[in-house]
Structure 1
Amino acid sequence: MTGEQRVEELRPAAPPRPLNAGPRSAGQIVRRLVVYSLLAVLVGVAATGVAGLLGLLLDRDTLLAGDNTSSVAQYLAFTLIGGPLAALLWWSVWRRLAEPAERGSLAWGLYLSAVLIVSLIVFSSALLEVMSELIDGDWNGPRCAIAAVWAAVWVWHDQSWRNRSKSPSRLATVPAVLGASFGLILGAGSAIATLAIVFDAALVRLVGTALVEGAWVIGALQSLIWALGGAAVWAWHWYRAGARTSSTAFAQVALVVLGILGATVATLGGLGMTLFVLLRLAVDRTDPLTSILAPLPVALASAVIGGAIWIYARAATRTRPAATAEAAVLATSGVSLAGAASGIGVIINSALALLATPLAGDDTRTLLLGGLSALLVGAPVWWFAWRPYGRADASRQSTGRRVYLIAIFGISAVVALITLLVIGFRLFEFVLGGSEGLIERVRAPLGLLTATALVAGYHFSVWRSDRADVDADADAAQQAPPERQRHISEVILVTGANSAPLVRALEQATGASVTVWPTQGTAVAGVEPAAVVGALDGVTGSRVLVVATDHIDVVPLAD
């Protein structure tokens, strides 16, 4: 059953509860929590036992006797005791799921979500580890057994999750969202590692000096296995399991946090580091070339993979509710703002270092280049995301924008408080006889404090401007005369005149759909739209018949 088919069923209103339903309901909740918790533990115990026994059989270097007696006894106990108990308890739970109340309980949804994501993580990690080690010629029997057993657990619970009559009514899409999130994190991290190895090998050929030791092909193939596995997990849950079409708040949050916020951090961090390396190659070659180029492979890989994820997630947010698209914009704006502000703070720090002793200013050029890189990458992205001079008036009244501005205030206050404490500590330390100069002591926190003050000052002015606009709109709404409430859903217009002006006027005045019934004979001239609209004054009803010929008649119709 696909994600589109797995829609929560509309349930009829529950009948009035009897007076003694409270204790019974509480008892049912406690019973479910105990039963499903115990079932999860027993499933884990049984799977561990079976995987252990199978691992002993598949391990070429392990004998079933001798030193492994204790392990065999433990695995046998887990399998022969935990397995039957888990099967018996599962049978009891499965029978109870025929009751709508049991199927709609929160505990059933939590149990399936927890077991599905845990089994998915365990079996996919073990399977990918086995496959990656096979590339290097190694065989890992115990990990293969773990992959096989926990894959069976995942398939078992996945089929239960898809069962039309027993699937949970609550938290129905949580397993799909969690699985897609895990696959995205695993696939993106492994893809970055793969590209980093490839870029590093390319730099080795360009520079002629190895930046890392060892054969890069094996490492790249092993990372590629993990990347493909993560992509497969994500694709299965995103498309097949229905995470792509889920409209729950949890799904929207996961999309914004991972697809927008996380991808923006990876992209801007990679671009900033790449620009920093290029600037160092151009004006600061105090360190060896290999040391300067060392961060470049990971930075390029992060920018490429993060950018691809960000582009796809941004396109996905356009099909979601307006609040999700706005949250994506605010997340991008927040990350880029943090990068630009940190760049300003580092630039101020390096500028103050020029006033310190020459010994303290030895690393000023490198520090300045780091701040410029962060500012040059973060500021343009923030400008295009935030659009300080191009935002619509409606966006100024949105809840997401207000929350964003308040969050900026809160973070700025915390950072300012910490930096003030650090500056005060450094000042008192200098007065009490410190050896370093005053500027050298306070330049780093002072740069951060200046950047924080700039960010807080700008966003405070935006917040005040938004409040003024909202208050002005509220005053205008109070002073404006109240509009007539017609409550008309459909207008049937009978006329022989040119109906287009009449239709536009009726739609604008009532907001209702207008159906035109033309009359036979010659067209009637002189029917004014204002007169037709005025004839509706005081008329109520969901359906209204308007006859506009040589005279105007209005007849409310029954629903």
Structure 2
Amino acid sequence: MSAPGGGGTVQGVVRRLIVFVLLFALVTIAAIGVSGLLDRALESGRGLAGDDPTGLAVSLAFTLIGGPLAALLWWAAWRRLAEPAERGSVAWGIYLAGMTTVSLVVATSALATTLVDLVDADWNPGAFTIALTWAAVWIWHRRMLRHPAKAPTRLPTVPLVLGAAYGLIVGARGAILALAELFDAALRTGLQTVIVGEPWGLDVVGHLIWAALGIAVWWWHWAGDGVRRIPTAFAGVEVVVVGVLGGAVAALSGLAIVLFVGLRLVFDPADGAASILGSLDSALASAAVGALVWRLHARVARRSSEAIARAAVLVVSGVGLVAAASGIGVIVNAALAAFTDPLATSGTRELLLGGISALLVGGPTWWATWRPTRRVPDAAAAGVGRRVYLVAVFGVSAIVAIVAVLVVGFRLFEFLLDAGTGSALIDRIRAPFGLLVATALVFAYHFAVWRGDRAALAASGAAAPQRRIGRIVLVAAGDTEEIRRALAAATGSSVTVWARQPVDGDRPIEPEALVAALEGVSGRRVMLLVGPGERVEALQLVE
């Protein structure tokens, strides 16, 4: 039967959804009102009403009406969280994740704005009060997230992972901008270029403030909250997508631009060194910071599960492949442009050098990560990650190639219906034709690799592992990392860990015993209960 009050019914789900959506809105309204009143109180030389009585009325309404309503609704919801159905609801976990993340973003952004304005000798009470108010909201929700009896049992680590990702992005961006300012000043000094405007050091300090705040937020979650050790799939996505993929894109794109600038200085110096070096500062900063982020998260990925380690390598391979394919397409484009202007204008040379730069950076990266000459073991060829990667690459390549063919055909028919010269036709189709050549090569190679993997597996008698279980929910006490790895390796399923309170009688259980308990069990979601004592029980969950 359902819990009293509809806790386990559809009505209960809808009620919780409405309650937490309203609570999110009311907390936001109350925070806006409080920050508005604090702003008026801190701003010197201005009465409470000032010259904006409408604004004061809004702040008072938001604070004195929205605040008590938010407190009342929170009190009612908080009381019910002692019930398992309430504490285990998705709505509660989503609310805490959303409000914790939003308050963190608003508080840190406002604090950074306040500090940057102070560097410029400008006191900004509005930004400071926003930072103060939303920091209090963040601390309040962090305490609820850590509550021993009422913290959410579903999605409990999502706000921690989101906080780490946000801090990393803000910190990396601030570091890139600060380094870019330093490199720009050094280049201008070297070229003896006069710097007009405000002292460049103020911009560096401003960007360093953002970088410091971002890094502090990231480290708080990464090390303090243990995000780097969280075994969930969502944490793995943060490591692979934000850390490895984001860092690789920043590093390789920056390196490609640095190479492009160097090639232009050698082969196309007509525009002058000052003009050519204009983008070098940002490229150097992006390459340096991106490489650091990439290296750090790649090491974390290698120490994580085998699936995350493989995914980290594959996404870097994909970045290198895109860069190399883009370079090939641009080179073909520039080569065809030579037929329209045999004297190779500066624009054509610049296009050609850009393609060469992308190919020289992307090609070796793809080769080093994909290793096309290495024989792939049957286990790796049968892995889900490799097969998904291959299908995704040649599938996307096929779509892009089809679009390029349509554009080439359109340009061809347009030319036939509108009299022109032969060079005009080449000039019309060279861009889509270059894209067609690059994507056709990518499609042909990866489709051949996919067919080869299937043939090799068929010849060896190996087969891709069959996943009888979609996701395993492991309920256990103590250190579960070894157990989680063993279950993921044996079943090929994703494993989510729900930590339970240790009790007397808990004993270490060998991973082999847990794998054996799953024999004959199948389903989209299976819960594996471990302990107390030597108890091991597998339960298929109803969707």
Length-normalised TM-score, structure 1: 0.80
3-state DSSP class of the match of 1:316?
helix
C-alpha contact (below 8 Å) 1:211/1:294 kept by paired residues: no
Q: How many residues align?
A: 461
Q: Which amino acid aligns with 1:450?
A: V
C-alpha contact (below 8 Å) 1:397/1:470 kept by paired residues: yes
Say whether 1:464 aligns with 2:451: yes
Gaps of 5+ in 1: 1-16, 478-559
Say whether 1:403 aligns with 2:403: no
CA-to-aligned-CA distance 1:355-381 (integer Å, 9 cap, x gap): 113587452211111111001111111
Distance 1:59 1:113 in 2: 33
Q: Which amino acid aligns with 2:169?
A: I
Measure how far apart 1:21 and its partner are: 11
Which stretch has the larger CA shift, 115-124 or 80-89?
80-89
The aligned counterpart of 1:247 is 231
The aligned counterpart of 2:435 is 448
Q: Which has the larger radius of gyration?
A: 1
Q: 1:300-311 alignment to 2 at 5 Å?
A: 300-311=284-295
Gaps of 5+ in 2: 465-543
C-alpha contact (below 8 Å) 1:360/1:440 kept by paired residues: no
CA-to-aligned-CA distance 1:116-173 (integer Å, 9 cap, x gap): 0000000100001100110110110011000000100000110111111111100010
Measure how far apart 1:291 and its partner are: 1.4
CA-to-aligned-CA distance 1:40-68 (integer Å, 9 cap, x gap): 11111111110000011122364323522
Residues 1:66 and 1:323: Cα distance change in structure 2 (over 3 Å): closer
Distance 1:435 1:267 in 2: 44
The aligned counterpart of 2:247 is 263
Say whether 1:290 aligns with 2:290: no
Residues 1:125 and 1:413: Cα distance change in structure 2 (over 3 Å): same
C-alpha contact (below 8 Å) 1:211/1:290 kept by paired residues: no
Determine what percentage of the aligned residue pairs are the same residue.
Answer: 54
Residues 1:66 and 1:258: Cα distance change in structure 2 (over 3 Å): closer
Q: Which amino acid aligns with 1:474?
A: G
3-state DSSP class of the match of 1:294?
helix
The aligned counterpart of 1:417 is 402
The aligned counterpart of 1:393 is 378
Distance 1:23 1:239 in 2: 36
The aligned counterpart of 1:340 is 324
The aligned counterpart of 2:117 is 133
Distance 1:398 1:475 in 2: 11
CA-to-aligned-CA distance 1:518-546 (integer Å, 9 cap, x gap): xxxxxxxxxxxxxxxxxxxxxxxxxxxxx
3-state DSSP class of the match of 1:286?
helix
Q: 1:83-98 alignment to 2 at 5 Å?
A: 83-98=67-82
Q: Which amino acid aligns with 2:264?
A: R
Q: 1:506-517 alignment to 2 at 5 Å?
A: none
C-alpha contact (below 8 Å) 1:193/1:301 kept by paired residues: yes
Residues 1:61 and 1:285: Cα distance change in structure 2 (over 3 Å): farther
The aligned counterpart of 1:432 is 417
Measure how far apart 1:87 and its partner are: 1.0
The aligned counterpart of 1:553 is none
The aligned counterpart of 1:102 is 86
Which stretch has the larger CA shift, 93-102 or 76-85?
93-102
C-alpha contact (below 8 Å) 2:111/2:131 kept by paired residues: yes
Cα RMSD, aligned residues only: 2.0
Pick aligned residue for 1:59 from 35, 39, 43: 43
The aligned counterpart of 2:156 is 172
Say whether 1:150 aligns with 2:137: no
Say whether 1:78 aligns with 2:78: no
CA-to-aligned-CA distance 1:311-346 (integer Å, 9 cap, x gap): 000000012110000000100000000000111111
Distance 1:151 1:189 in 2: 22
Distance 2:195 2:389 in 1: 42
C-alpha contact (below 8 Å) 2:268/2:346 kept by paired residues: no
Distance 2:435 2:149 in 1: 58
Distance 1:403 1:303 in 2: 29
